[in-house]
Each structure stands twice: as structure tokens, then as C-alpha cells.
């Protein structure tokens, strides 16, 4: 696959790993956070941590838009889907996320019409095909996905579709990063910056991290060589005493972002005064809702949404894992009460959450892994 395979080639990885190791100051530990769930996924999927020296630790950030949706909002969505003559459409990511009464999958088994789609445009298609039903789209995602929802709503408006609406749960990345930076119990040395979010918002929004907090940021692509190179660039900045925003993902990310996308978002949506993030609590100006001009496409206006706040179970330590303070295995319920099959909290709920990624891909004795390789016949 072009633009993918070249950035997965192992031979260049060793060189980068050697360079990274050379830049490590003896006796010093380095902690970098990758914000994006997709980066967490790549790191685990390709076994990237095997290339890093012991001095470098990767901390997994809160960039999983599915993980941060509070249980109460999942309940709200299922309530919407259960209304008569209603079809809920959703990305696959949401299907197993448990609310307080079960997940979309559970609701589907009980007869609720919930359908998986690849694109919000597919929801429009379903709406056109079923004029007698109300079609609701469960909109989730950071700024990468928000423009697609906005464009879909604009299209629905242009077509005069009367039976389509959006249950908007889009969130924004910068407030989450700021919450991490302001957290007293965390000391990070730099950020592997979001890749695809940056195609929309550009690199400027991260400048405050370098300027006000003095932490280097490298906006990274999603292939393993992209991430390794980004770690190399972070180490280079640190060794040279710089703290800047650099763009490693230049083949896709324009420094100024995508104006058309930002315009579409701005036309259709506005920032909520505050929004609850599972594990992080209430954060101001961190999520989107539909503007009043688009009320006829806003599921929260068209339907009666209960809006009950459901607290996370007491045993859940997701907040600390999300902020990188705890490693997944340091959580008291990790792997016992809380597993991918029976997830208690947000970090285990989505396959990209730090705990799920670690449980599914990484929970091995790395010392033993090296022995295995050496003992191969």
C-alpha cells in the first residue's frame, strides 16, 4: 500500500532507534505522551516500544473520543434509538461501549434498530431510504471527524431532508491537552502531537504548549516510522534545549490546517460552555453542539433526552490512567474485574484506550520475549 508500507519498513527503524538512544543523557528518564488513540494503537500494534531504550517511557493520553463519552450520554443515545420509528446509526467503535444499562449491541439484541455505518453520509442514505423513520447519527470524534458531520448536516439541509438528525458528542483536543498539562501529578518531557486532528486544526493550536509550558511537540503520522522519527525529533529538541512545535507529518498536515473544514464546523456547530469527559470531569469549551439555526438537525432538540449524569464506578481509576499518572497495570482493577470483555471504565472500553491496548497487545513479560527470540529453532 502506497504511503503506508514505506513507513512501516523495519530496516530504517534500527537506525532511528540507535539515534534516539544516542541522544539519551545518561541517568535521565524521558516521558513522552502520545495524545491520539490512533497513535496508541500503532505503538501497540507494531510493537514499537521494543525499539525504545529503557530510558524512554510512552504515556498514553486521552485522545480516544469513544473512551471519554460518559455513560450517561451512552444511555441517552440508547434512549433515542429506542424511540418508535427511529433508526440510530453509529460507527463500529461505539457498539460495545457500555452505558449503565448495556451497550448499543445489547440494545440491538433487544430489538432496537441500531445500524453500523462507515460514514455519516451513509446515515443520509438510510434517511432517504426510510422517509417514514427518524434517522439519528451518533456523532463522535475529535476535530478529525467533526467536519464530516458538519458537511453531512449541510448536505441534509441542502436536500431538505426532514428525518435526519445528529446526536452531537464531538470533543476538542486542546482542552484535553491543557487538562493534562495543568495536572499537578504529571511531569512530561514532550508530546507526540495528534496527526489527523492537525489536518483540520493545523499546528498553531499547539504553540502554547511549547511557548507557555516549555514542552516540545512533534505532530506525528500514524505509521511506526512516523512515530519513531517523531520521538527522535523530540529527543533532538531536548538535547538542543529547544521547545517548538514541529510537523513530522508534512505529507498530510498543512501548518494552517484546512480552512474549508474549520468553516464548515463553525457554520453548523458551536462550543458548549462545558462538557463532561469520562475520567477527566467537566472541562469548559471542550465539546461541540449544533447551532440553533440547525435545530431541525439536532437530536437533543427534536427528542426528549433524559440527560441523567451517571457516575463512574468507585473502583475506576481511569482518570489517573488517562492523565498518564498510572500505567494500566497499576490500576487496582486492571485485568481482574476490569477486562475488555467486562470493561469498568473508559480506558478499557475502546480497543484504543490505554488499558485495552495494553491488555490486548502488550501484556507480556518483555524480558521473556527477548528469550523467546533468542531460543527460536
Q: Does 253 bind another protein (CB under 8 A)?
A: yes
Nearer Cβ to another protein, position 116 or 305?
116
In the complex, the smallest distance separating the C-beta of residue 304 from another protein, rounded to whole angstroms, is 27
Distance from CA of residue 57 to its chain's centroid?
A: 20
Part of the chain binding another protein (CB under 8 A), chosen from 7-15, 77-85, 274-282, 286-294 = 7-15
Q: Does 340 bind another protein (CB under 8 A)?
A: yes
Nearer Cβ to another protein, position 236 or 305?
236
In the complex, the smallest distance separating the C-beta of residue 184 from another protein, rounded to whole angstroms, is 27
Q: Is 181 exposed, middle or buried (0-12, 13-18, 19+ CB in 10 A)?
A: middle
Binding-site member from 54, 132, 304, 341 for another protein (CB under 8 A): 341
Largest CA distance in the chain: 68
Alpha-carbon distances, residue 370 vs 11, 21, 364 (angstroms):
19, 19, 11
Q: Does 282 bind another protein (CB under 8 A)?
A: no
Per DSSP, 28 falls in state: -
Nearest residue to 274 via CA among 262, 288, 294: 288
Cα distance between residue 130 and residue 85, in whole Å: 10
Return phi, psi of residue 371, to 5°: -60, -40
Binding-site member from 53, 101, 113, 117 for another protein (CB under 8 A): 117
Q: Does 169 bind another protein (CB under 8 A)?
A: no
Q: Does 105 bind another protein (CB under 8 A)?
A: yes
Q: Does 246 bind another protein (CB under 8 A)?
A: no
Q: CB 376: neighbour CB atoms within 10 A? A: 5
In the complex, the smallest distance separating the C-beta of residue 162 from another protein, rounded to whole angstroms, is 21
124-162 b/e (C-beta count within 10 Å ≥ 16 → b)? bebbeeeeeebbbbbbbbbbbbbbbbbbbbeebeeeebe
Please, which of residues 185-204 interact with another protein by CB under 8 A?
194-197, 199-200
In the complex, the smallest distance separating the C-beta of residue 79 from another protein, rounded to whole angstroms, is 22
Contacts of 258 (CB under 8 A, 6+ apart): 147, 199, 200, 202
Q: Does 116 bind another protein (CB under 8 A)?
A: yes
Binding-site member from 81, 134, 138, 145 for another protein (CB under 8 A): 145
Please, which of residues 16-75 interact with another protein by CB under 8 A?
16, 18-19, 36-39, 41, 44-51, 63-66
Amino acid at each position: 500500500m502506497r504511503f503506508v508500507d514505506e513507513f512501516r519498513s523495519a530496516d530504517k527503524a534500527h537506525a532511528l532507534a540507535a539515534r534516539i538512544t544516542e541522544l539519551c543523557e545518561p541517568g535521565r528518564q524521558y516521558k513522552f505522551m502520545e495524545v491520539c488513540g490512533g497513535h496508541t494503537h500503532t505503538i501497540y500494534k507494531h510493537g514499537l516500544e521494543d525499539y525504545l531504550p529503557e530510558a524512554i517511557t510512552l504515556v498514553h493520553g486521552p485522545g480516544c473520543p469513544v473512551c471519554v463519552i460518559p455513560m450517561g450520554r451512552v444511555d441517552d443515545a440508547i434512549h433515542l434509538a429506542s424511540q418508535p420509528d427511529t433508526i440510530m446509526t453509529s460507527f463500529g467503535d461505539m457498539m460495545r461501549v457500555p452505558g449503565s444499562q448495556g451497550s448499543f449491541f445489547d440494545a440491538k439484541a433487544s430489538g432496537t434498530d441500531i445500524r453500523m455505518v462507515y460514514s455519516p453520509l451513509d446515515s443520509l442514505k438510510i434517511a432517504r431510504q426510510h422517509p417514514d423513520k427518524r434517522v439519528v447519527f451518533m456523532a463522535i470524534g475529535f476535530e478529525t471527524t467533526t467536519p464530516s458531520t458538519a458537511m453531512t448536516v449541510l448536505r441534509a439541509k441542502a436536500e431538505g431532508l426532514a428525518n435526519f438528525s445528529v446526536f452531537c458528542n464531538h470533543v476538542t483536543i486542546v482542552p484535553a491537552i491543557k487538562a493534562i498539562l495543568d495536572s499537578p501529578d504529571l511531569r512530561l518531557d514532550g508530546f507526540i502531537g495528534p496527526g489527523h486532528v492537525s489536518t483540520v486544526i493545523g499546528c498553531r493550536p499547539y504553540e502554547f504548549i511549547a511557548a507557555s509550558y516549555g514542552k516540545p511537540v512533534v505532530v506525528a503520522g500514524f505509521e511506526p516510522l512516523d512515530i519513531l522519527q517523531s520521538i527522535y525529533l523530540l529527543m533532538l529538541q531536548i538535547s538542543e534545549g529547544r521547545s517548538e512545535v514541529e510537523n513530522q507529518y508534512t505529507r498530510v498536515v498543512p501548518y494552517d490546517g484546512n480552512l474549508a473544514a474549520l468553516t464548515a464546523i463553525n457554520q453548523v456547530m458551536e462550543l458548549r460552555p462545558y462538557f463532561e469527559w469520562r475520567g477527566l470531569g467537566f472541562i469548559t469549551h471542550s465539546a461541540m453542539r449544533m447551532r440553533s439555526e440547525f435545530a431541525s438537525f439536532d437530536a437533543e432538540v427534536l427528542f426528549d433526552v433524559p440527560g441523567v449524569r451517571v457516575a463512574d464506578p468507585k473502583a475506576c481509576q481511569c482518570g489517573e490512567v488517562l492523565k498518564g499518572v498510572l500505567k494500566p497495570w497499576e490500576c487496582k482493577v486492571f485485568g481482574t474485574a476490569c477486562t475488555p470483555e467486562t470493561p469498568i471504565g473508559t480506558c478499557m472500553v475502546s480497543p484504543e484506550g490505554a488499558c485495552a491496548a495494553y491488555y490486548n497487545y502488550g501484556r507480556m513479560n518483555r524480558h521473556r520475549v527477548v528469550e523467546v527470540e533468542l531460543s527460536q529453532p
